[in-house]
Amino acid sequence: MKKNLITSVLMTIATTILLGIVYPLLVTALAQVIFPKQANGQLIPGNGKAIGSRIIGQGFSAAKYFHSRPSAAGNGYDAANSGGSNFGPTNQKLIDRVKGDVASAQSQNSGTSVPIDLVTTSASGFDPHITPAAAEYQLARIARERNATVDQLRVLLGKHTEGRQWGILGEPRVNVLELNLELDEQFPMNRQAKAQ
Amino acid sequence: MTANGWFQIFLFFGLVLLVTKPIGVFMTRVFNRERTFMDPVLRPIERLLYRVTGVDEEHEMRWTEYAISMLLFSLVSMIALYLMERLQGYLPFNPQKLGAVNPSALAFNTAASFTTNTNWQNYSGETTMSYFTQMAGLAYHNFMSAAVGIALAIAFIRGIARRQMETIGNFWVDLVRCNLWILLPACILGALVLVSQGVVQNLKPYDTVKLVEPMQVQKIGPGGKPVVDARGKPVMDTVTEQTIAQGPVASQEIIKELGTNGGGFFNANSAHPFENPTPLSNLIELVSIFAIGSGLTYTLGRMTGSQRHGWAVWSAMSILFFAGVTAAYWAEARGNPLLAGTDQKVSVLQPGGNMEGKEVRFGIANTALWATVTTDASCGAINGWHDSFTPLGGLVPLANIMLSEVVFGGVGAGMYGMLIYIVLAVFIAGLMVGRTPEYLGKKVEAYDVKMAMLVVLVFPLVILIFSAISVVAGFGTSSILNPGPHGLSEVIYAFTSQAGNNGSALAGLTTNTPWYNIAGAVTMLVGRFLMIIPALAIAGNLAAKKYVPPSLGTFPVTTPLFTVLLIAVILIVGALTFFPALSLGPILEHLLMAAGKTF
């Protein structure tokens, strides 16, 4: 009993050093050398300061941008406070929230049924993606706002639509942040103002 | 449901089948202390560890010494984790300057949670735990609690395989060899593969980025309540920056799945893009959850000299897995009929279905699959919120845990849980033909069945008692987020998950309260150690018995008939115990939802 107690203490110390400190530091060193971009969160460089991470979503609600999904992370898209709404399917608060978002989406777009991902909160609270259906749903609005044709935008959308990984895994999806960044580049809002 | 969705589910399962034999054979070699190709590197480290900790590797233990060593080690390492949480403000690798984990009941709950392989979390990782606590405290316990579970399963299997022997192995040797030969090499490799997909691995402070579109959000005052103006309208705030939490995630992510621990580095667990960025990382993590549990069925067959018995057990697990995933996928794909004006139909452009609390890259199939896998095994990691599942979709994870997580199960825990059910199954078969039951040449007698029944009874007892208190006392009901039958489900799920050492939650329930912290910690400790001790007692008792050669009257444990009987015993025990609770929770909610009732 006493011998096993001493072994317990020594084993805790020795294995904590090996598995709790040496192992993660070794993996960190290897990761930083082999995959430096991925290991650091794939930040997108901007003017002096990064403007986001490729794989962390941002909130978009202006008419000129493709909208991202509603968020329950902190105050919305808080990437230091991940989480979902946790509303159950029969919770009146869920029904009311979706009702409000459906009404606003229908008034801004064509008025038909809204693709479900566009009015439901994601699990992380900063899902970087929307479905191709949700992007398609917003095309006419963006074309109007950006003074572009739907066909021009569809080309852009195609470029930012990821198919299933290896053609099999996961679901087709559109990266909202990258799509909107290129939207600003190719169809800037002040294009007309400049021309006049 | 789509053809591609089913294809992904079968692909996942095919990979599990593929790794079962290699892992099973390798584990047998490791625990029989045979030579492996890694010996030149690992033997010196192993010997060094024994030297500094005073372990005699030739010493064999009776089941009592094995149990005491395991309990002492769990106690000491649990205290170490508690102290680490409370003192993290003074420890290194803390760029966010996070203070002590408060209150002490939360630190205690977390220490109990990670020591018992539960990884129930009453905190959010990114706002509570320093990188040091995550690495040396939480991830460390992910290794250790997994290795303890596997060691115990191996000890149980030795108990069946050995004849007229007093001992079942050496706890310290099993613990060390499991970590060095199995978990550590797999994790170094797996972590790097996950990093390649975008799982972060760094020690830097959180990043701040400038948002492309500034957001208008409700201003939150002190105390977490939205600030309102004189007319009661919410005051808005403009947010121009986004803080992105970072950390040494990949090294913890892989052991979290491989060791069926499940505690997320971040609050959103494997739904967080930094924990699970792509469908491929999702597949790797899913296979990791089942890999060792499935391999152990092969080890069971190999060590007991009856490979066909190993596959018979594996088949029972597989059938239960497919039943669960079919129900969950079907229910989630059908969506929520109460959400008017939404398009939930599946098309080439969207998976449709119930997308509340799910990520687009995983869609319906992969989220339903994950929920089934994480609760078949006692993992508890999530890639979508179970609380927002449809009633029947959410019933699947809950029912899986109620069946004691024996479908591949927690590493080790699933195997010894299943062995308990096997003892019951052969006992019932023996009753039907009126003979003393035998299991692989060992007579199963009163002592073994009593111990097995202890395990079967403790589990529902602790769940139902604590749930009952929580739904009548104010300190229990005030934590419920979702009203109606769903609220009852939240409470029952919480105690079921903790008793089963799963760790997933219907997370709307606010559990960082004195009651849920303490009652939860007690539930987890009971759920772990009051299962292990009777299981070890059976192992010790079986090891000492004589071998009885099979005769014509022996009930064979290698046939489809045995598989069916085993499934029946699991389902009957589970249903008899929990059906009333399930019918008042998820089943009632399903009926009311179909009738258009909301709460």
Question: How much is the pLDDT for A97?
Answer: 96
pLDDT score of B3 more than 90: yes
Residue of A nearest to B66 (CA): A4
pLDDT tens across B262-307, in order?
999 999 999 999 999 999 999 999 999 999 999 999 999 999 999 9
pTM of this prediction?
0.95
Question: How much is the pLDDT for A1?
Answer: 78
Question: Phi and psi dihedrals of B224, rounded to 5?
Answer: 80, 5
Interface test with A, best of B84, B201, B597 (most A CBs within 10 A): B201
pLDDT score of A196 more than 50: no
Amino acid type, B123: Y
- Name the minimum distance, in Å, from the CA of A20 to any CA of chain B: 4
Question: How much is the pLDDT for B84?
Answer: 96
- Identify the burial level of B44 via C-beta atoms within 10 angstroms of its C-beta, where 0-12 means exposed, 13-18 middle and 19 or more buried: exposed
CB within 8 Å: B357 and A86: yes
Q: What count of other Cβ atoms lies within 10 Å of the Cβ of residue B42?
A: 18
Question: How much is the pLDDT for B290?
Answer: 96
Measured between CB atoms, which of A21, A90, A114 is closest to B599? A90
| Mean pLDDT on B549-574 | 92
- Check residues B27 and B220 and name the one with the higher pLDDT: B27
pLDDT score of B224 more than 70: no
CB within 8 Å: A89 and B172: no
**DSSP for B51-107?**
HHHT--TT---BHHHHHHHHHHHHHHHHHHHHHHHHTGGGSSS-TT-----SSHHHH
**ipTM for the assembly:** 0.95
pLDDT score of A194 more than 90: no
pLDDT score of B353 more than 90: yes
Amino acid type, B126: E
Percent of chain B with pLDDT over 70: 99
Measured between CB atoms, which of A27, A65, A85 is closest to B191? A27
- Name the minimum distance, in Å, from the CA of A129 to any CA of chain B: 6
Confirm if A131 and B349 have CB atoms less than 8 A apart: yes
CB within 8 Å: A35 and B196: yes
Confirm if A57 and A42 have CB atoms less than 8 A apart: no
A175–chain B Cβ distance below 8 A for any pair: no
Interface test with A, best of B242, B281, B285, B383 (most A CBs within 10 A): B242
Residue of A nearest to B383 (CA): A123
| Nearest to B200, CA basis, from B266, B148, B288 | B266
Can you say whether residue B212 is alpha, beta or left, with left for phi > 0 and alpha for psi between -120 and 50 degrees?
Answer: alpha
- Name the minimum distance, in Å, from the CA of B508 to any CA of chain A: 5
SS (H, E, C) A104-121: HHHHHCCCCCEEHHHHCC
pLDDT score of A193 more than 50: no
Spatial distance between the Cα atoms of A51 and A48, rounded to a whole number of angstroms: 9
Interface test with A, best of B342, B347, B387, B589 (most A CBs within 10 A): B342
CB within 8 Å: B68 and A1: yes
Omega cis (within 30) before B22: no
B508 interaction partners in chain A (CB closer than 8 Å): 86-88
Question: How much is the pLDDT for B275?
Answer: 97
- Identify the burial level of B411 via C-beta atoms within 10 angstroms of its C-beta, where 0-12 means exposed, 13-18 middle and 19 or more buried: buried
CB within 8 Å: A38 and B192: no
- Name the minimum distance, in Å, from the CA of B197 to any CA of chain A: 7
- Identify the burial level of A67 via C-beta atoms within 10 angstroms of its C-beta, where 0-12 means exposed, 13-18 middle and 19 or more buried: buried
Question: Phi and psi dihedrals of B167, rounded to 5?
Answer: -120, 160
Q: Tokens 């403009």 label which residue?
A: B238
- Name the minimum distance, in Å, from the CA of A110 to any CA of chain B: 12
- Name the minimum distance, in Å, from the CA of A159 to any CA of chain B: 15
- Name the minimum distance, in Å, from the CA of B33 to any CA of chain A: 20
| Mean pLDDT on B354-370 | 97
Question: How much is the pLDDT for B418?
Answer: 93
Question: In this structure, what DSSP letter does residue B225 have?
Answer: P
B486 interaction partners in chain A (CB closer than 8 Å): 88-91
Q: What count of other Cβ atoms lies within 10 Å of the Cβ of residue B126?
A: 27
Average pLDDT, chain B: 94
- Name the minimum distance, in Å, from the CA of A176 to any CA of chain B: 11
Question: How much is the pLDDT for A192?
Answer: 53
B245 interaction partners in chain A (CB closer than 8 Å): 79-80, 82
| Mean pLDDT on B160-171 | 93
CB within 8 Å: A170 and B136: no
A77–chain B Cβ distance below 8 A for any pair: yes
Amino acid type, B315: S
| Mean pLDDT on B501-516 | 93
pLDDT confidence bin for B472, thresholds 50/70/90: very high
pLDDT confidence bin for B223, thresholds 50/70/90: low
Question: How much is the pLDDT for A44?
Answer: 95
| Mean pLDDT on A4-16 | 96
| Mean pLDDT on A91-97 | 96
Measured between CB atoms, which of B179, B192, B350 is closest to A34? B192
CB within 8 Å: B68 and A50: no
A73–chain B Cβ distance below 8 A for any pair: yes
pLDDT tens across B66-88, in order?
999 999 999 999 999 999 999 99
Q: At B40, is the secondary structure helix, strand, or coil? A: helix
Question: How much is the pLDDT for B225?
Answer: 73
CB within 8 Å: A79 and B242: yes
CB within 8 Å: A80 and B206: yes
Question: How much is the pLDDT for B220?
Answer: 74
Measured between CB atoms, which of B202, B352, B359 is closest to A40? B202
pLDDT score of B553 more than 90: no
Residue of B nearest to A164 (CA): B279
- Name the minimum distance, in Å, from the CA of A187 to any CA of chain B: 15
Measured between CB atoms, which of A1, A31, A115 is closest to B250? A31
Amino acid type, B466: F
Question: How much is the pLDDT for A7?
Answer: 96
Domain boundaries, chain A: 2-39, 41-196
Scanning A21-60 for CB atoms below 8 A from B yields 21, 23-24, 26-28, 30-32, 34-35, 38-44, 46, 49-53, 55-60
CB within 8 Å: A20 and B184: no
| Nearest to A101, CA basis, from A78, A57, A68 | A68
Q: At B247, is the secondary structure helix, strand, or coil? A: coil
A109–chain B Cβ distance below 8 A for any pair: no
Spatial distance between the Cα atoms of A182 and B146, rounded to a whole number of angstroms: 46
pLDDT tens across A131-169, in order?
999 999 999 999 999 999 999 999 999 999 999 999 999
Question: How much is the pLDDT for B433?
Answer: 84
pLDDT score of B151 more than 70: yes
Percent of chain B with pLDDT over 90: 90
A95 interaction partners in chain B (CB closer than 8 Å): 338-339, 598
